[in-house]
Structure 1
Amino acid sequence: MKKFKLIRVVIFPFLPAIAYQMTLLLTPNAFDYLNLIYNVLFVISLWIAVYFLGELDD
């Protein structure tokens, strides 16, 4: 179970980047809005990763 939590901690920060690149391929004209959304999702994913790092000790 600990390995699964560690994998989630490693993958979460990369999910917004993957979603950002995929959406950019589909709609290249929406760059400004995507940049804002990407930054917000990246910050949220980092907070989630920090939370799960704290949960690994339990």
Structure 2
Amino acid sequence: MAKRGMGLRAGEFMDLVQNIVVTEKRKTPFTNNRPSYEWYKRFMERNKDIVGLRREV
């Protein structure tokens, strides 16, 4: 999706974070090394310069 100019969906983004955490063997407070939707919302709020999901036209 990102290659076509579309942002990642929330679930895809959380999967990406989980993959990074597992691959790099980082310690996290996440259950099953996967962030929650609440974490995602707070992350997007803190990082407003990141473009969220855009509708395909």
TM superposition score normalised by structure 1 = 0.37
The structure whose residues are more often helix, as a share, is: 1
- Larger RCO (CA within 8 A; separation ≥ 6): 1
TM superposition score normalised by structure 2 = 0.37
